[in-house]
Amino acid sequence: MSQTLLRVEDLHVTFGISPQGAMPWTKPLPLHAVNGVSFDLKAGETLGIVGESGCGKSTLARAVMRMVPASGKALWLGQDLLKLSKTTLKETRRDIQMIFQDPLASLNPRMTIGQIIAEPLNTHSPDLSADEVKAAVQEMMTRVGLLPNLVNRYPHEFSGGQCQRIGIARALILKPKLIICDEPVSALDVSIQAQVINLLMELQEELGLSLIFIAHDLSVVKHISTRIMVLYLGNEMEVADAAALTENPRHPYTQALISAVPIPDPGQERGKTRIMLEGDLPSPINPPSGCVFRTRCPKAQNRCAEKKPALTGDGHQVACWFPDD
Protein backbone atom coordinates (compact mmCIF):
# COMPACT_ATOMS: atom_id res chain seq x y z
CA MET A 1 0.00 0.00 0.00
CA SER A 2 1.21 3.47 -0.75
CA GLN A 3 2.53 5.87 1.79
CA THR A 4 0.31 7.92 4.07
CA LEU A 5 0.71 11.57 3.13
CA LEU A 6 -1.53 13.28 5.59
CA ARG A 7 -2.84 11.95 8.85
CA VAL A 8 -5.22 14.17 10.75
CA GLU A 9 -5.93 13.20 14.32
CA ASP A 10 -8.60 14.69 16.53
CA LEU A 11 -8.57 18.09 14.87
CA HIS A 12 -10.53 20.84 16.61
CA VAL A 13 -11.20 24.33 15.37
CA THR A 14 -12.94 26.65 17.77
CA PHE A 15 -13.87 30.23 17.06
CA GLY A 16 -14.76 32.79 19.69
CA ILE A 17 -18.08 34.48 18.95
CA SER A 18 -18.99 37.45 21.08
CA PRO A 19 -22.72 37.40 21.78
CA GLN A 20 -24.85 40.30 20.62
CA GLY A 21 -24.56 43.38 22.76
CA ALA A 22 -21.65 41.89 24.63
CA MET A 23 -19.37 44.03 26.72
CA PRO A 24 -15.71 44.06 25.69
CA TRP A 25 -14.72 42.02 28.73
CA THR A 26 -17.33 39.26 28.45
CA LYS A 27 -15.85 35.99 27.35
CA PRO A 28 -16.69 35.10 23.75
CA LEU A 29 -18.77 31.98 23.26
CA PRO A 30 -16.90 29.07 21.76
CA LEU A 31 -18.12 27.88 18.37
CA HIS A 32 -16.86 24.40 17.56
CA ALA A 33 -16.53 24.55 13.80
CA VAL A 34 -14.59 21.31 13.57
CA ASN A 35 -14.93 18.90 16.43
CA GLY A 36 -12.44 16.08 16.64
CA VAL A 37 -12.03 15.05 13.02
CA SER A 38 -9.51 12.34 12.09
CA PHE A 39 -8.63 10.88 8.72
CA ASP A 40 -5.79 9.41 6.71
CA LEU A 41 -4.89 10.33 3.17
CA LYS A 42 -2.62 8.16 1.11
CA ALA A 43 -0.56 9.24 -1.87
CA GLY A 44 -2.60 9.25 -5.06
CA GLU A 45 -5.88 9.01 -3.20
CA THR A 46 -8.80 11.39 -3.26
CA LEU A 47 -10.70 12.11 -0.10
CA GLY A 48 -14.14 13.60 -0.69
CA ILE A 49 -15.64 15.67 2.08
CA VAL A 50 -19.39 16.27 1.97
CA GLY A 51 -21.86 17.91 4.26
CA GLU A 52 -24.39 20.72 4.26
CA SER A 53 -23.46 24.40 4.45
CA GLY A 54 -21.83 25.39 7.70
CA CYS A 55 -20.78 21.89 8.70
CA GLY A 56 -17.10 22.78 8.77
CA LYS A 57 -15.86 21.45 5.43
CA SER A 58 -13.99 24.57 4.44
CA THR A 59 -12.80 25.24 7.98
CA LEU A 60 -11.29 21.77 8.06
CA ALA A 61 -9.39 22.51 4.85
CA ARG A 62 -8.23 25.87 6.17
CA ALA A 63 -7.10 24.29 9.41
CA VAL A 64 -4.89 21.87 7.48
CA MET A 65 -3.51 24.85 5.54
CA ARG A 66 -2.89 26.61 8.87
CA MET A 67 -5.10 29.50 7.83
CA VAL A 68 -7.27 29.22 10.93
CA PRO A 69 -5.95 28.31 14.37
CA ALA A 70 -6.58 24.68 15.18
CA SER A 71 -5.69 22.16 17.84
CA GLY A 72 -5.02 18.47 17.45
CA LYS A 73 -2.63 16.91 15.01
CA ALA A 74 -2.17 17.13 11.26
CA LEU A 75 0.81 14.99 10.36
CA TRP A 76 2.26 15.67 6.94
CA LEU A 77 4.73 12.84 6.22
CA GLY A 78 5.19 12.53 9.95
CA GLN A 79 5.65 16.26 10.66
CA ASP A 80 2.92 18.04 12.58
CA LEU A 81 1.75 20.88 10.33
CA LEU A 82 0.13 22.66 13.24
CA LYS A 83 3.43 22.99 15.11
CA LEU A 84 5.79 23.86 12.25
CA SER A 85 7.84 27.01 12.45
CA LYS A 86 7.29 29.67 9.82
CA THR A 87 10.24 28.70 7.65
CA THR A 88 9.51 24.99 7.57
CA LEU A 89 5.87 25.77 7.03
CA LYS A 90 6.79 27.72 3.93
CA GLU A 91 8.74 24.73 2.65
CA THR A 92 5.80 22.43 3.28
CA ARG A 93 3.42 24.82 1.56
CA ARG A 94 5.15 23.93 -1.68
CA ASP A 95 3.61 20.48 -1.38
CA ILE A 96 0.11 21.50 -0.38
CA GLN A 97 -1.79 23.82 -2.65
CA MET A 98 -5.38 24.90 -2.75
CA ILE A 99 -8.10 25.53 -5.34
CA PHE A 100 -10.93 27.84 -4.40
CA GLN A 101 -14.65 27.97 -4.83
CA ASP A 102 -15.21 31.19 -6.77
CA PRO A 103 -12.92 31.00 -9.81
CA LEU A 104 -12.98 34.71 -10.62
CA ALA A 105 -12.73 35.96 -7.04
CA SER A 106 -9.69 33.82 -6.39
CA LEU A 107 -7.69 35.65 -9.07
CA ASN A 108 -6.35 39.13 -8.44
CA PRO A 109 -8.13 41.36 -11.01
CA ARG A 110 -5.10 43.64 -11.36
CA MET A 111 -2.66 40.91 -12.39
CA THR A 112 -2.34 39.20 -15.74
CA ILE A 113 -2.87 35.48 -15.65
CA GLY A 114 0.80 34.99 -16.45
CA GLN A 115 1.68 36.82 -13.25
CA ILE A 116 -0.99 34.93 -11.33
CA ILE A 117 0.21 31.50 -12.39
CA ALA A 118 3.85 32.49 -11.82
CA GLU A 119 3.24 33.85 -8.34
CA PRO A 120 3.77 30.60 -6.40
CA LEU A 121 6.93 30.01 -8.39
CA ASN A 122 8.21 33.51 -7.66
CA THR A 123 7.39 33.04 -4.00
CA HIS A 124 9.02 29.68 -3.50
CA SER A 125 11.90 29.77 -5.99
CA PRO A 126 12.84 33.44 -6.32
CA ASP A 127 16.14 32.56 -7.99
CA LEU A 128 14.52 31.30 -11.20
CA SER A 129 15.17 33.47 -14.23
CA ALA A 130 12.31 35.23 -15.98
CA ASP A 131 12.62 32.94 -18.98
CA GLU A 132 12.44 29.79 -16.88
CA VAL A 133 9.36 31.08 -15.12
CA LYS A 134 7.76 31.98 -18.41
CA ALA A 135 8.48 28.55 -19.85
CA ALA A 136 7.03 26.85 -16.78
CA VAL A 137 3.92 29.02 -16.92
CA GLN A 138 3.35 28.28 -20.60
CA GLU A 139 3.84 24.58 -20.11
CA MET A 140 1.37 24.56 -17.25
CA MET A 141 -1.16 26.56 -19.27
CA THR A 142 -1.01 24.07 -22.11
CA ARG A 143 -1.42 21.26 -19.64
CA VAL A 144 -4.63 22.63 -18.15
CA GLY A 145 -6.00 23.41 -21.61
CA LEU A 146 -5.37 27.11 -21.99
CA LEU A 147 -3.66 28.65 -24.98
CA PRO A 148 -0.23 29.86 -23.83
CA ASN A 149 -0.55 33.07 -25.83
CA LEU A 150 -3.16 34.29 -23.35
CA VAL A 151 -0.58 35.03 -20.64
CA ASN A 152 -1.04 38.77 -20.85
CA ARG A 153 -4.80 38.66 -20.45
CA TYR A 154 -6.59 39.63 -17.28
CA PRO A 155 -8.93 37.39 -15.27
CA HIS A 156 -12.08 39.32 -16.20
CA GLU A 157 -11.54 38.38 -19.82
CA PHE A 158 -12.08 34.68 -19.07
CA SER A 159 -15.11 32.51 -18.41
CA GLY A 160 -15.68 30.75 -15.10
CA GLY A 161 -14.38 27.43 -16.36
CA GLN A 162 -11.26 29.05 -17.79
CA CYS A 163 -10.70 30.92 -14.54
CA GLN A 164 -10.88 27.63 -12.66
CA ARG A 165 -8.29 26.21 -15.04
CA ILE A 166 -6.07 29.18 -14.22
CA GLY A 167 -6.60 28.41 -10.55
CA ILE A 168 -5.62 24.80 -11.18
CA ALA A 169 -2.54 25.85 -13.13
CA ARG A 170 -1.52 28.11 -10.25
CA ALA A 171 -1.97 25.26 -7.78
CA LEU A 172 -0.02 22.82 -9.92
CA ILE A 173 2.94 24.90 -10.95
CA LEU A 174 4.95 24.02 -7.84
CA LYS A 175 4.34 20.31 -8.50
CA PRO A 176 2.65 19.75 -5.14
CA LYS A 177 1.78 16.38 -3.64
CA LEU A 178 -1.62 17.38 -2.30
CA ILE A 179 -4.24 19.74 -3.63
CA ILE A 180 -7.08 20.81 -1.41
CA CYS A 181 -10.07 21.64 -3.59
CA ASP A 182 -12.54 23.77 -1.68
CA GLU A 183 -15.76 23.34 -3.64
CA PRO A 184 -13.96 23.86 -6.94
CA VAL A 185 -16.98 23.23 -9.10
CA SER A 186 -19.92 24.58 -7.09
CA ALA A 187 -19.82 27.91 -8.91
CA LEU A 188 -19.72 26.36 -12.37
CA ASP A 189 -22.54 24.98 -14.48
CA VAL A 190 -22.87 21.25 -15.00
CA SER A 191 -21.08 20.84 -18.33
CA ILE A 192 -18.14 22.95 -17.16
CA GLN A 193 -18.13 21.03 -13.88
CA ALA A 194 -17.58 17.83 -15.82
CA GLN A 195 -14.70 19.39 -17.77
CA VAL A 196 -12.98 20.67 -14.66
CA ILE A 197 -13.44 17.41 -12.78
CA ASN A 198 -12.15 15.35 -15.67
CA LEU A 199 -9.17 17.70 -15.94
CA LEU A 200 -8.47 17.24 -12.24
CA MET A 201 -8.69 13.45 -12.57
CA GLU A 202 -6.40 13.40 -15.61
CA LEU A 203 -3.84 15.55 -13.84
CA GLN A 204 -4.11 13.40 -10.74
CA GLU A 205 -3.33 10.31 -12.78
CA GLU A 206 -0.50 12.00 -14.64
CA LEU A 207 1.22 13.59 -11.66
CA GLY A 208 0.26 11.17 -8.91
CA LEU A 209 -1.50 13.86 -6.90
CA SER A 210 -3.59 13.41 -3.81
CA LEU A 211 -6.73 15.45 -3.55
CA ILE A 212 -8.97 16.55 -0.76
CA PHE A 213 -12.14 17.33 -2.59
CA ILE A 214 -14.75 19.35 -0.75
CA ALA A 215 -18.22 19.62 -2.21
CA HIS A 216 -21.84 19.51 -1.26
CA ASP A 217 -22.83 17.58 -4.36
CA LEU A 218 -22.63 13.89 -3.58
CA SER A 219 -22.72 12.70 -7.17
CA VAL A 220 -19.69 14.85 -8.03
CA VAL A 221 -17.81 13.62 -4.98
CA LYS A 222 -18.68 10.02 -5.73
CA HIS A 223 -17.28 10.40 -9.24
CA ILE A 224 -13.89 11.68 -8.17
CA SER A 225 -13.23 10.25 -4.70
CA THR A 226 -11.56 7.13 -3.45
CA ARG A 227 -12.93 7.66 0.04
CA ILE A 228 -15.71 9.91 1.25
CA MET A 229 -16.12 11.56 4.60
CA VAL A 230 -19.50 12.89 5.73
CA LEU A 231 -19.45 15.82 8.12
CA TYR A 232 -22.31 17.14 10.18
CA LEU A 233 -21.91 20.15 12.48
CA GLY A 234 -18.15 19.70 12.58
CA ASN A 235 -18.34 16.02 13.47
CA GLU A 236 -17.54 13.05 11.33
CA MET A 237 -20.60 10.90 10.69
CA GLU A 238 -19.28 8.29 8.34
CA VAL A 239 -16.09 7.55 6.44
CA ALA A 240 -15.89 4.83 3.82
CA ASP A 241 -14.78 3.99 0.33
CA ALA A 242 -16.77 5.89 -2.24
CA ALA A 243 -18.69 2.92 -3.58
CA ALA A 244 -19.44 1.45 -0.16
CA LEU A 245 -20.65 4.78 1.19
CA THR A 246 -22.92 5.61 -1.69
CA GLU A 247 -24.36 2.14 -2.19
CA ASN A 248 -24.53 1.00 1.37
CA PRO A 249 -24.68 3.99 3.69
CA ARG A 250 -24.87 2.99 7.33
CA HIS A 251 -25.42 6.30 9.06
CA PRO A 252 -28.96 7.71 9.00
CA TYR A 253 -27.60 11.14 7.97
CA THR A 254 -25.70 9.69 5.03
CA GLN A 255 -28.80 7.76 4.03
CA ALA A 256 -30.81 10.97 4.01
CA LEU A 257 -28.14 12.76 2.01
CA ILE A 258 -27.97 10.02 -0.58
CA SER A 259 -31.71 9.79 -0.92
CA ALA A 260 -31.73 13.49 -1.76
CA VAL A 261 -29.40 13.10 -4.75
CA PRO A 262 -31.53 13.45 -7.87
CA ILE A 263 -31.49 10.53 -10.31
CA PRO A 264 -31.25 11.64 -13.94
CA ASP A 265 -34.20 9.46 -14.92
CA PRO A 266 -37.73 10.75 -14.26
CA GLY A 267 -39.18 7.25 -13.89
CA GLN A 268 -36.81 6.22 -11.14
CA GLU A 269 -36.81 9.64 -9.59
CA ARG A 270 -40.58 9.47 -9.06
CA GLY A 271 -40.35 5.98 -7.63
CA LYS A 272 -37.67 6.60 -5.03
CA THR A 273 -38.44 7.44 -1.42
CA ARG A 274 -36.72 10.46 0.02
CA ILE A 275 -35.85 10.49 3.65
CA MET A 276 -36.94 13.87 4.91
CA LEU A 277 -35.04 15.31 7.84
CA GLU A 278 -37.07 17.34 10.30
CA GLY A 279 -35.95 20.70 11.55
CA ASP A 280 -32.87 22.76 10.86
CA LEU A 281 -29.18 22.49 11.51
CA PRO A 282 -28.70 23.16 15.24
CA SER A 283 -26.54 26.08 16.28
CA PRO A 284 -22.86 25.12 16.53
CA ILE A 285 -22.56 27.49 19.51
CA ASN A 286 -24.99 25.34 21.43
CA PRO A 287 -24.79 21.85 19.91
CA PRO A 288 -27.07 19.06 21.08
CA SER A 289 -25.75 16.76 23.80
CA GLY A 290 -24.48 13.35 22.84
CA CYS A 291 -24.80 12.67 19.15
CA VAL A 292 -25.07 16.02 17.36
CA PHE A 293 -27.41 14.57 14.76
CA ARG A 294 -29.96 13.23 17.24
CA THR A 295 -32.30 16.24 16.99
CA ARG A 296 -33.05 15.38 13.38
CA CYS A 297 -32.40 11.67 13.38
CA PRO A 298 -35.33 9.36 12.65
CA LYS A 299 -33.75 6.67 14.83
CA ALA A 300 -32.83 8.79 17.84
CA GLN A 301 -33.28 7.21 21.27
CA ASN A 302 -32.41 8.18 24.82
CA ARG A 303 -28.94 6.81 24.56
CA CYS A 304 -28.11 9.20 21.70
CA ALA A 305 -28.61 12.21 23.96
CA GLU A 306 -26.44 10.80 26.71
CA LYS A 307 -23.19 9.95 25.00
CA LYS A 308 -21.54 10.86 21.77
CA PRO A 309 -20.95 7.81 19.58
CA ALA A 310 -17.35 7.28 18.54
CA LEU A 311 -16.29 6.56 14.99
CA THR A 312 -16.03 2.77 14.86
CA GLY A 313 -15.36 0.05 12.36
CA ASP A 314 -12.45 -0.46 10.04
CA GLY A 315 -12.68 0.48 6.42
CA HIS A 316 -16.27 1.58 6.73
CA GLN A 317 -16.40 3.76 9.82
CA VAL A 318 -19.63 5.08 11.32
CA ALA A 319 -20.34 7.30 14.30
CA CYS A 320 -23.76 6.09 15.31
CA TRP A 321 -25.21 4.00 18.11
CA PHE A 322 -27.58 2.22 15.78
CA PRO A 323 -25.94 1.94 12.38
CA ASP A 324 -27.44 -0.14 9.58
CA ASP A 325 -25.41 -3.07 8.45
Binding mask 85-114 for another protein (x = CB under 8 A): ----xx--xx--xx-xxx--xxxxxxxx--
In whole angstroms, how close is the CB of 34 to another protein at the nearest point?
A: 17
Determine if 164 is a binding residue for another protein (CB under 8 A): no
Task: Name the residue nearer to another protein (CB basis): 27 or 110.
Answer: 110
The alpha carbon of 143 is separated from its chain's Cα centroid by a whole number of angstroms, namely: 23
Determine if 177 is a binding residue for another protein (CB under 8 A): no
> ∠ CA 166-174-218 to the nearest 5 degrees?
55
Out of 119, 194, 255, 311, the residue judged to bind another protein by CB under 8 A = 119
Selection from 214, 139, 204, 152 nearest residue 178 by Cα: 204
Out of 17, 22, 67, 260, the residue judged to bind another protein by CB under 8 A = 67
Task: Name the residue nearer to another protein (CB basis): 111 or 311.
Answer: 111
Residue 36's alpha-carbon distances to 49, 106, 122, 240, 311, in angstroms, are: 15, 29, 36, 17, 10
In whole angstroms, how close is the CB of 134 to another protein at the nearest point?
A: 10
Out of 2, 18, 123, 159, the residue judged to bind another protein by CB under 8 A = 123
Q: Classify residue 284 by its DSSP letter.
A: T
Determine if 120 is a binding residue for another protein (CB under 8 A): yes
Out of 17, 135, 147, 275, the residue judged to bind another protein by CB under 8 A = 147
What are the strands of the beta sheet with 46-50, ordered from one edge? Answer: 96-99, 178-182, 210-214, 46-50, 227-232, 235-241, 317-318
Binding-site size for another protein (CB under 8 A) equals 35
268-274 contacts at long range (C-beta below 8 A, 24 or more positions apart): none
Out of 73, 153, 216, 299, the residue judged to bind another protein by CB under 8 A = 153
Selection from 53, 54, 52 nearest residue 31 by Cα: 54
Determine if 148 is a binding residue for another protein (CB under 8 A): yes
Separation between Cα atoms, residue 131 and residue 270, nearest integer Å: 59
In whole angstroms, how close is the CB of 16 to another protein at the nearest point?
A: 12
Task: Name the residue nearer to another protein (CB basis): 163 or 257.
Answer: 163
Q: What is the CA radius of gyration of the chain?
A: 21
Element (H, E) at 16: strand 4-17
In whole angstroms, how close is the CB of 49 to another protein at the nearest point?
A: 17
List contacts with another protein (CB under 8 A). Answer: 65, 67, 89-90, 93-94, 97-98, 100-102, 105-112, 119-120, 123-124, 147-154, 156-157, 167, 170
